[in-house]
Amino acid sequence: MTLKLKGDIEINDIPSSKAKALKLNLNKYIYGTFAEIGAGQETVRHFFRAGGASGTIAKAMSAYDKDFSDAIYGIEDDGRYVTQVRLKKMITHEIELMEDRLNRKKHPGKMFFSYANTVTTIDFAKVFKGHGWVGIKFQLDPLEKYNEIILHVRFKETDAKLQQETLGTLGVNLIYGAFYMYDKPKELLKSLYDNLHRVQIELDMINFSGPRFSYVDNRLMSLLLVKNGFTNAVMFGPDGNNLLPAQQLYKANILALRGSFRPVTKVNMDIYMQAQKLFLSENKVNEKRTKIIFEITLSNLASSGEIDERDFLDRAELLCSLGQNVMITSYQEYYKLVDYFSEFTKARIGLAMGVASFIQIFDEKYYRNLSGGILEAFGKLFFKDLKVYLYPFKNQKTNELVTSENLRVHPRMKELYKFFKYNGKVVDIVDYNPEILEVFSKKVLDMITNGEEGWEEMLPSGIAETIKDHRLFGYSRRKFINKK
């Protein structure tokens, strides 16, 4: 039996929180629990006030006392309460209680759910604005396994009461979306901001799982968070599941490599490996606390106009197959990326890039929106504990090898460049592979698209096979046969 909508009330395109709660309350098949820690029972309050809640709410609780919470959900190894692990324990525990205590024969058509949040709101000093984990475990058929939607939010408002109200609205949107928009995950994602504004809350991670979401690629959902303006940066791991940047980057040494990776080439991997060696050899770098990130900007993904989701997933597939952490950001300028990293760590940060990309940093046109111009940007970029690892560039016309020693910037920027160069902020990668300096992603992509031979040897081991097996980047075996 699938979800029945008979008798549901008619509502507008963007219904109010009250209308959403009432629609859920009036659906006799939906039944579940609410467990909210840290900001009051703000979500369930909407359902009580909407009317008809007795048919929807099996239990509502708020285990504020830590000892009481531990007695219910167990003690965490790290002693923390506002974590994804805690949230998953909460929704799983509550579902198990429902299954154990409620007779399915008495409730044959009921679709159980467990909604939970664990949050910390703004502190008294109003320095840390707070964050939280929100999730739902739910059925769309009594005989099916459970689905899950788990997300992380960062509060932006500076008043605890407003943050609580925002959290309540978000919770209603999530529950409503789970039951009425499960088959349209992209629209479900957008609906989380119904009756909310981006200045109130930032949504920086979301994961879908379960039988009804088996076709959902969480990496794509991650991209949409940035594309929709819900956050500025998202991150996913080699397994394709989304990661929380704040958790991954906390007090970490970070080495970031920006590129199009369309596709990832031997040059990309040589930059990565050589920069990693230099970075890990630094006295201020702790290898165990180092995070390597392959970063793609939103502007790069949209370089040909609209963002091509298939193209994005092709790039993601290759990077994940190489065991890399991938980050998508809206930070076109490097100083914004470094500023973002600095929110989570004061440890040394490294940027690995080619000479051509480095020269663009000294182009004043990128900083016209700053009152302090390029000096303000460079203050944010280089006056942090940062080093740039520079991969040489071979001039195709002159065959000259361009490094930090002979690169040319605008005459007005010459002295500024010298300052950072002589203060050790720029380090040349000298152990590069000279045989691959003429390999470029665009060249490889054109060869694949045009059905030309020889592109395979420009890519890291196994990547060509992955492209062929999954027909990435428009690869077609027929093109190559026709060429012959």
Show the tokens assigned to 404.
Answer: 């930090």
DSSP string, 112-156: EEEEEEEEE---TTSSS--EEEEEEEE-SSTTSPPEEEEEEEEE-
Report H helices in 228-344: 245-249, 266-280, 298-301, 309-321, 334-341
Task: Give exposure, 81-92, as e/b (b: 16+ Cβ within 10 Å).
Answer: bbbbbbbbbbbb
**What is the C-alpha to C-alpha distance for residues 270 and 275, in angstroms, rounded to an integer?**
8
User: Whole-angstrom Cα distance, residue 177 to residue 238?
Assistant: 28
What per-residue confidence (pLDDT) applies to 303?
63
Give me the pLDDT at residue 479, please.
Answer: 57
Q: What is the pLDDT of residue 365?
A: 85
Predicted local distance difference test score (pLDDT) of residue 170: 97
Using an 8 Å Cβ cutoff, are 453 and 480 in contact?
Answer: yes
Q: What is the pLDDT of residue 306?
A: 81
Q: How far apart are CA 334 and CA 425, in angstroms?
A: 14
Per-residue pLDDT of 285-344, as tens digits, reads: 999 999 999 999 998 898 667 888 999 999 999 999 999 999 999 999 999 999 999 999
pLDDT of the residue at 7: 42
In b/e form, how buried is each residue of 386-420, taking b as 16+ CB within 10 angstroms?
bbbbbbbbeeeeeeeebbbeebebeeebeebbeeb
List pLDDT tens digits, range 245-267. Answer: 999 999 999 999 999 999 999 99
Strands of 290-297's sheet in order across: 242-243, 233-236, 325-329, 290-297, 253-258, 349-354, 386-391, 426-428
Confidence tier at 372 by pLDDT (50, 70, 90): confident
Q: What pLDDT digit, counting tens, does each position of 396-440 carry?
A: 888 899 999 999 988 888 988 998 888 889 999 999 999 999 999
Residue 4, pLDDT score: 46
d(CA 232, CA 225): 8
DSSP 274: H
* 186's tokens: 């992209």
Q: Are the CB atoms for 428 and 390 separated by under 8 Å?
A: yes
Name the pLDDT band for 66 (thresholds 50, 70, 90): confident
pTM above 0.85, yes or no: yes
Q: Report the alpha-carbon distance of residue 246 to residue 345 in Å, rounded.
A: 9
Q: Strand 401-402 to strand 393-394: parallel, antiparallel, or no bridges (unpaired)?
A: antiparallel
**Contact present, 266 and 322 (Cβ < 8 Å):** no
Beta bridge partners of residue 426, listed in sequence order: 388
Closest CA to 294 of 338, 250, 329, 327: 327
CB 138 within 8 A of CB 114: yes
